[in-house]
Structure 1
């Protein structure tokens, strides 16, 4: 299948982000990396993804600086995929998607996973956008301003 033209030169930050992580496999790989998955076989087992697709997505995530491929931490001949600082910066994105899914895609009482705070054992509170004064910020209270260069 031919790849579509990339969005890496778009002036829209959302388009550029989607160019890097905008397909389900990439996001699920990143989710698994946050859950501690590091090896090719473990990603494949978790995701039930074809080897060629997993190879392609891992390559793309490494090339875009989201993951790094490093020698295995146990000293074996294997390689592992670890989140880079750029990849770790996606944590709020994954949490927001998780929380949106929890709130909108499950029936009341339906089983699902929950993100837990390791320090207190409680579910992580819902993320919310806030203005500079700490007040909750609604969509209607924002707008996009086009910025020329930096």
Structure 2
């Protein structure tokens, strides 16, 4: 397959970036993955304006990344927390990969700010490209093959 002939109009990477590439989207997901899910907590921890956070949360609910769930403390007014959906949890390996890339190339001289470990074994967790039977693949081991919805651009013959 000649990659330059591929029509990128239905590229999954570009479609994903259209959803998660918006400013604050990955930061909000990072917070939600770490149990920071209430509007006030998100706003305070991220240091983002209420209007920007409100707009981003609404978009992420519309995109199916977060569920908006009401809660009430005592006799207070109804408020909302934002729970990651299955679709959002599907991005967790991407988040881990981004974090580990940042740890490797952008961390402070003291090292990364946090570490991820398996709760049961205490062993470090890493993001990796693996086969469906868990064999780790180097980028050079991966072949790109046509899928069912591949479209090609007309050639200039």
TM-score normalised over the length of structure 1: 0.81
Bigger shift: 135-144 or 38-47?
135-144
Q: Aligned partners of 1:100, 1:65: CA distance in 2, in Å?
A: 26
Can you give the 5+ residue segments of structure 1 that lack an aligned partner in the other structure? 1-8
The Cα RMSD (Å) is 2.4
Q: Secondary structure at the match of 1:128?
A: coil
Pairing 1:96–2:97 present: yes
In structure 2, what is the equivalent of residue 106 of structure 1? 107
Q: Which string of whole-angstrom CA distances, capped at 9 and with x for unpartnered residues, describes residues 92-113 of structure 1?
A: 1111111111111124433511
Partner SS state of residue 56, structure 1 = helix
Q: Distance in 1 between matches of 2:141 and 2:73?
A: 50
1:36 aligns to what SS in structure 2? coil
**Equivalent residues of 1:20, 1:64 under 8 A apart:** yes
Question: Whose relative contact order is higher, 1 or 2, with alpha carbons under 8 Å and at least 6 apart?
Answer: 2
CA distance in 2, matches of 1:103, 1:126: 12
Q: How many pairs were matched up?
A: 141
Change (3 A) 1:131 1:110: closer
Question: Quick one: distance in 2 between partners of 1:59 and 1:92?
Answer: 24
TM-score, with structure 2 as normaliser: 0.77
Aligned pair in 2 of structure 1 residues 132, 88: CA closer, same or farther (>3 Å)?
closer
SS at match of 2:32: helix
1:41-84 CA deviation, whole Å, 9 max, x = no partner? 11111100111111111011000100010112757511111111
SS of the residue corresponding to residue 95 of structure 2 reads: helix
Aligned to 1:67: 66
Who wins on radius of gyration, i.e. which is larger? 2
| Structure 2 counterparts to residues 1-150 of structure 1, below 5 A | 10-72=9-71, 77-110=78-111, 112-120=113-121, 122=122, 124-132=124-132, 134-149=134-149
Structure-2 change in CA distance of 1:22 and 1:116 (3 Å): same
